[in-house]
Structure 1
Amino acid sequence: MVRHMFSNLLLLWSLSHDLYITGLTYNAPQEQSWNNQNLSSVPLDLDVRLRRLDLSNNLIRQLHTLALPYLEQLDLSSNQLDFISDGAFENLARLEQLNLSRNGLNNNLGSNSKALQSLSGLKTLDISMNGLSDDAVELYLRNKSSLDQLQMTGNALKRLSHSLFKESKGLRTITIDDNLISEIEQGTFEPLIHLETLNLAKNNLAHICDFKLHQIKYLNLSRNSVEFFVTRQDDQLYRLEVLDLSYNKLLYFPIVPKMNCLRYLYLQNNMIGTLNSEATMVSETNSLYNEITRKKIVSKNNLHSNWRPMPLIYIDLSYNHFRSFPLETLSLLSSLETLNFSYNCLQNIFWDIRNYSESGHVRQLFFPSLKHLDLQSNGLLYMSPLFLNSLTQIETLNLEDNSVQPCASTDHLRSSQSTQQINVSTSCVALGQLRTLKHLNLKENNIKILEPHTFQRTSLVSLNLAKNVHMVIHEGALEGAQTSLQSLIISEINMSSSHLSLPCLPALTQLNLSNNHLDVIPSSLICSPLREVDIRNNVLMTLNHSLIQALSTHLTIMYISGNRFNCCDSKWLKILNETKIKLPDIGEAECFTRVRKFVMMEYLKNHVLNCLFHTQPQEVHPGQIIIIILFVGVILAVLIVFSRKLCCTQRSFVV
């Protein structure tokens, strides 16, 4: 029995000892940071129970043996580390994450690489910005079968060989951006069957001749010199979901895998569209494909056959060289929801498609899922009604910085062949055709006039009309949209109050009237549940306090600076203060009297006294004049009585 009790005690002691050693006791430290301490070496008194250790941003140059058997994460980034002794990591059996970025690991490769070979259980390794060459990286990646994530940003790699990752076939994420890579050997990434994310941005890659990475979900090739991207047709499924080819030298649309999962395609800042017409571009792309794949049959449209089944929901084509809108190619994308076509060279969007003629049958295409279209900064004058008809689900349309003149209504514009014969230099755009439109940006289009019923039949929620200098808004221009409109921007159009007529807008919550010449706020706003109002930089001297009182029910924020408010007519301001409505620019707001101007906040502290002496004569109420006369009379009477008493007192002393 004694022996049995002794064995139980021994077991209990052993368990408690293990708990203490492994750091599971309540007092055991989990993490320690020596970040940015100007250390030249690793501290000697580190707790052996540590699991996470941060030594980043120091001056450590050499690393010797670390006796931290339970350490899981080690950060040595941004030091001056150029020497790691052979056995430095031998006692780090549990280390999974190691950050060695921003050091000098291009030196002492033999010792340094041998030290890293002992970390066979490493899952995450960052060796970015160490000036590493191709051969150096291959040495550092030896014996890394458990590696899951690898970061090699900002090194000096020029060529990726098929042997580079032969001992790291479990990799899921590889980042090799900002290097000098111009060549990738076949077989470099193909064996990495678990690879999902590959970032090769900011390199010197010129061509992707035959993309074969079936396993990758995210591929970043931005900021290279890629001229074309071609995939040979096969029946294998590609898992690619995001492809970033932005900031390259593409002349053509990429030929993506036929069976793919692509949802996001980034093609901004390229040279697509330089070949003028869509037909020419498609023909050239197919010829290139046949040349690369050495196919003799040239009749098949490989570009369109590969794009048709693509489940793309987002494509960015901004900052390219399109002179015409690629209607047929983009209409193949039946799942497309967002299209960014800003900063191109469009002037007109004609219905210029195959099998269309002036006298023949009109072939109508559709963008059945497109909700958000950005056409900013194209110089657009004209958009075909047939094109507008194709936008059956459009909700957001950005036409900022173009030359679009909205039509009065769409009744006289028919989607027929005759619409192609309109003189585009004087034609307008029938925005009323867009029944599902909710958000419209017409900022800076040099619009001359908004005719009545311009937005009839739309479902507008927000409308931006800013920077259309000298635009005339016809009474009734907002009819048809007034019940749904929630946000309205009419800033920077040089408009005076006499030319601004707004209907009752029962849904309006945000209004921007800044940078105009308004001296009165439209009284029709009394029926709007406004939450935010911007009236900065107008010529307002006061605000209708009855209107402000009505608006204060919903109003939460108001911008008022840059006006010429009358200091002594501030009843409206008291209402805003009492209701605790935010005035973010009250510190910049000024008010004026006949004598001088004041910062409104300072003036309000003594507004009664200031108004008494500085109010402009023409603005003084008759009752105020009577009070002032009486006040002065009383003061004079008191002075006379006081002086007589003083005189009498002096005489009595003389006697």
Structure 2
Amino acid sequence: NNFIGSIDHHVFDGLTSLIELHLDNNLIKEIKHNTFKNLLQLETLDLSGNRITVLHKNAFDGDIPIRTLRIDDASIENIADGTFDSLINLEVLSLCGNRIQHLNENYLKLPNLHHLSIARNNFKTVDSNALTNLPNLESLDLSECSIKAFPQTFFDECVYLRSLSIAGNEISSLPSSIFNGLSDLRVIDISDNKLSSDSLQSLLVIKQLEKVTLNRNPIHRLSADLGRMNNLKEIQVSNSNLRDIDYSTLLTLSNIEVLDLSGNQLKELPLGGLKNAQMKKLNLANNRFTEIPDAVFLDEVVNLQELDISANPLKRLMGKGSSKGSPISTLEVLEASNTNLTVLTSMEMTLMPNLRSINLANSAINKISPGVFKNLSKLTHLNLAFNHLEILPRERLRGLTSLIHLNVTSNNLKSLDQFPSDTKTIKVLDASGNRIKKLDKILFRHTSNLEELMLSDNWITSIGVGSFSSLERLTVLDLSQNNLEVLRPVVLEPVERTLDHLYLQGNPWSCSCSNEELWSWLQNHPSQVKEPQLLHCDLPKKLRGSSFLMLGPSTFCPQPVIHGLAIQDIQSQSLLVSWQAANVSSIYGFKVTYQVTDGCEDEDSSSGSASSAALHHHQSVSSTPTLGLDARSFRLEKLEPSTEYQVCVHGLAKSLTSHSHTLSEDHVDNAPKQHNEALRCSRGRTLTYPPAASTGAATSNVGIILGVVLAVALVAGIVGALLWYRLCRAKNNDHEPNKQSNGCPPDFYTSTQYSHSSSSYSTRQYRDKEEFAC
């Protein structure tokens, strides 16, 4: 698969351990001398799909141990004599799809060759001794080589040949002794030739033959002589214009295990012809049978495992005569598709009790009688697709205790009945292409093992809450191409843990408040939604055709996410932004952006620099980090004084798209102009600096010094007063008057004081002047 046009003989030097070399599908035109000479371990070489017109004699010279060589579809027209002579270890040679015109021994001298395939060439001549030097050949494919006849002795030296295909040629007759030397041949395919039934006599000499394929030959009748071949196990005679089969012929084929009579014009099989037959597979498809032949049941074909009666004009499965036959307990597969069946009666499955698979698709069945499947406890696959069923009552499925796959697609079912408890094993249900309008809560109550549910292309408008609550193992849910406008996520929640594939495209979705929760649920489960780009809005009309999952949450339900926005605690260089927000599941956080607005010149001349800076940054948008879902306020700092700002709070929504949630400057600039319910903006102006800030640095310093001096003086005065008071108290303690006997202080205001020791008056005492001074 490259564009290699040529290979130099030094390219592979040193690759002495190379085992496989694939140079297929390139543009190689020539294999040069000694190209592979040094590949001493090479076992497999593939040169297919190149443009090698001629293979020269020395192309493979050298001691190359190649065992498998493929040069298919390489435009080879001529092979030189002795080209492969040096490949003494070659076991497999394939030269299919070339333009080789001559088949002769000169380039086929390979004593160890086991498998030779030269199919799809255009031989003009076939030498009688072409295979003489291939003594160990085991399989030979000469199909589609435009060969009209073989020489009488062509196969005489192929004594070990086990498989031969000469299909797709123009052979009209075979000499009676042409296969005399093929004593060990097991499989022969002579399909798509022009052989008549007389040519089959040449096969009788092949005693070990096990399988013969005669498809698409104008045989017209099957020879009874084939029954004399005791080892023959499989005969394929499809599309061979057979009109009937003799009783004796069929009876002699008692050892046949696989019989393919499809694509003929048979109307019946002779009764008794299958007596004691060892047949395991019987293919009667595409004939003219109106029912399964009575011989199948009456002749007691006890080993039959597979029966194909498809593409016949069946009016019923079993005839009245078959009811007297014995059940075929070994029959496991019944193919009866593309027929004219209209009704399945309750008796038609009674003789096939162990069926595991029934295919009744593409027929005209409009009625299934009660109890048809009641005895088919081993049935795992039931295909009723592309019929005319309008109802499928739950009773019709009773008895199917092993059912795994049920296909009722493309019928006329208007509803689905609750599945019976017998069907708890079902894993795959395909009911697509019907007219089902709704799904009831109890519908899947007994199908807890369901893994795949296909309901596409119906008329479903509603799905009841709890409809999927029992489907604990559901991995695939297809609701595409229905009439769903609204779908509540609560319907999907029971299966969201196991669901891998969810198909919802092709519904007329309403992109309104009613589907906001669905939009949010799908955003949270992106890996489960398949082909999300195909989900489109149908309502409202203005959004028709819009991508469902690419819309923002506010588009579905135009109610503000941010209820209120306030700018508080305004300072000269900061603002406190507060907001209120709705509890919307699609919002995962908030972000505050701010920018200087137009016309923001400050009247104060001292702030002219700030004003010019604001004007300079007019287009600049600043943004906070992503804030949590619980955030309701944020302080903006390092702002310019006396400047008007536009402040916006954004609700950040989840999305299935891979774009970043970071807000671009252009988006923020345009956001207030857009109808965005997840955004609210307001304006606020920062304060100017306090007036004291304009008196200069020197005046400010003097005020500070004066304040400090006054404070120090006040503290010093208070400390001095306290020290003087303590000093006075200390002096008074030395002249303290006597206290009264009851502990009270002496009374200095009475004229006399009585003594406790005598009744005489004592002289009046006065307060000391120093005491009064203190």
Letter in 2 for 1:174: L
Look up the match of 1:591: 537
- Change in Cα spacing, 1:185 to 1:532, as seen in structure 2 (3 Å) is same
Look up the match of 1:418: none
Q: Out of 42-51 and 439-448, give the one that drifted further.
A: 42-51
* 1:375-414 correspondence runs (5 A): 375-382=336-343, 387-410=348-371
- Change in Cα spacing, 1:536 to 1:258, as seen in structure 2 (3 Å) is same
| Deviation of the 1:52 alpha carbon | 4.8
- Change in Cα spacing, 1:534 to 1:214, as seen in structure 2 (3 Å) is farther
The Cα RMSD (Å) is 4.5
Specify which of 489, 493, 499 is matched with residue 434 of structure 2.
493
| Deviation of the 1:148 alpha carbon | 1.0
* 1:462-541 correspondence runs (5 A): 462-469=405-412, 471-473=413-415, 475=417, 478-479=419-420, 481-497=422-438, 502=443, 504-507=445-448, 508-522=450-464, 523-529=466-472, 530-541=474-485
Look up the match of 2:335: 374
Look up the match of 1:630: none
| Deviation of the 1:37 alpha carbon | 0.8
Please tell me whether the aligned partners of residues 446 and 470 of structure 2 are also in contact (alpha carbons under 8 angstroms): yes
| Deviation of the 1:607 alpha carbon | 0.7
| Deviation of the 1:367 alpha carbon | 3.6
Letter in 1 for 2:317: I
Specify which of 161, 165, 168 is matched with residue 131 of structure 2.
165
Specify which of 134, 142, 152 is matched with residue 176 of structure 1.
142
For the pair shown, the structure with the greater C-alpha radius of gyration is 2
Letter in 1 for 2:462: V
| Deviation of the 1:589 alpha carbon | 0.9
In the alignment, the residues of structure 1 paired with residue 394 and residue 556 of structure 2 have an alpha-carbon distance, to the nearest angstrom, of 48
Specify which of 481, 486, 489 is matched with residue 545 of structure 1.
489
Specify which of 77, 91, 115 is matched with residue 62 of structure 2.
91
In the alignment, the residues of structure 2 paired with residue 573 and residue 405 of structure 1 have an alpha-carbon distance, to the nearest angstrom, of 41
Please tell me whether the aligned partners of residues 103 and 125 of structure 2 are also in contact (alpha carbons under 8 angstroms): no
* 1:74-89 correspondence runs (5 A): 74-89=45-60
> In percent, how many aligned pairs have the same letter?
19
Please tell me whether the aligned partners of residues 328 and 365 of structure 1 are also in contact (alpha carbons under 8 angstroms): no
Specify which of 19, 29, 34 is matched with residue 60 of structure 1.
29
**Paired residue total:** 535
| Deviation of the 1:203 alpha carbon | 2.0
Whether 1:38 and 2:38 are equivalent positions in the alignment is no
| Deviation of the 1:159 alpha carbon | 8.0
Look up the match of 2:317: 349
In the alignment, the residues of structure 2 paired with residue 401 and residue 147 of structure 1 have an alpha-carbon distance, to the nearest angstrom, of 49
- Change in Cα spacing, 1:328 to 1:260, as seen in structure 2 (3 Å) is farther
In the alignment, the residues of structure 2 paired with residue 640 and residue 204 of structure 1 have an alpha-carbon distance, to the nearest angstrom, of 90
| Deviation of the 1:64 alpha carbon | 3.7
- Change in Cα spacing, 1:168 to 1:386, as seen in structure 2 (3 Å) is farther
Letter in 2 for 1:438: T
Please tell me whether the aligned partners of residues 209 and 229 of structure 2 are also in contact (alpha carbons under 8 angstroms): no
Letter in 2 for 1:488: L
In the alignment, the residues of structure 2 paired with residue 144 and residue 302 of structure 1 have an alpha-carbon distance, to the nearest angstrom, of 53
- Change in Cα spacing, 1:348 to 1:139, as seen in structure 2 (3 Å) is farther
1:55-107 alpha-carbon deviations (Å, 9 max, x no partner): 55334347445544725444444444455554554423534333344456544
1:34-57 alpha-carbon deviations (Å, 9 max, x no partner): 964112x65345427365555553
In the alignment, the residues of structure 1 paired with residue 282 and residue 503 of structure 2 have an alpha-carbon distance, to the nearest angstrom, of 37
* 1:433-472 correspondence runs (5 A): 433-459=375-401, 460-469=403-412, 471-472=413-414
Please tell me whether the aligned partners of residues 174 and 197 of structure 1 are also in contact (alpha carbons under 8 angstroms): yes
Please tell me whether the aligned partners of residues 53 and 75 of structure 2 are also in contact (alpha carbons under 8 angstroms): yes
**3-state secondary structure, aligned to 2:463:** coil
Q: Out of 212-221 and 163-172, give the one that drifted further.
A: 212-221
Please tell me whether the aligned partners of residues 327 and 353 of structure 2 are also in contact (alpha carbons under 8 angstroms): yes
Look up the match of 2:626: none
- Change in Cα spacing, 1:451 to 1:73, as seen in structure 2 (3 Å) is closer
Look up the match of 2:103: 136
Please tell me whether the aligned partners of residues 414 and 437 of structure 2 are also in contact (alpha carbons under 8 angstroms): no
Please tell me whether the aligned partners of residues 179 and 203 of structure 1 are also in contact (alpha carbons under 8 angstroms): yes
| Deviation of the 1:500 alpha carbon | 10
**3-state secondary structure, aligned to 1:587:** helix
Please tell me whether the aligned partners of residues 478 and 502 of structure 2 are also in contact (alpha carbons under 8 angstroms): yes
In the alignment, the residues of structure 1 paired with residue 373 and residue 174 of structure 2 have an alpha-carbon distance, to the nearest angstrom, of 41
Look up the match of 1:600: 548
| Deviation of the 1:368 alpha carbon | 3.3
Look up the match of 1:282: 246
Look up the match of 2:701: none
After TM superposition, the score normalised by the length of structure 1 is: 0.68
Letter in 1 for 2:463: I
In the alignment, the residues of structure 1 paired with residue 375 and residue 175 of structure 2 have an alpha-carbon distance, to the nearest angstrom, of 44
Letter in 1 for 2:553: H
Please tell me whether the aligned partners of residues 532 and 558 of structure 1 are also in contact (alpha carbons under 8 angstroms): yes
Please tell me whether the aligned partners of residues 343 and 367 of structure 2 are also in contact (alpha carbons under 8 angstroms): no
| Deviation of the 1:400 alpha carbon | 0.9
- Change in Cα spacing, 1:585 to 1:181, as seen in structure 2 (3 Å) is same
**3-state secondary structure, aligned to 1:525:** coil
In the alignment, the residues of structure 2 paired with residue 271 and residue 303 of structure 1 have an alpha-carbon distance, to the nearest angstrom, of 23
- Change in Cα spacing, 1:408 to 1:503, as seen in structure 2 (3 Å) is farther
| Deviation of the 1:235 alpha carbon | 12
Look up the match of 1:238: 208
Letter in 2 for 1:484: T
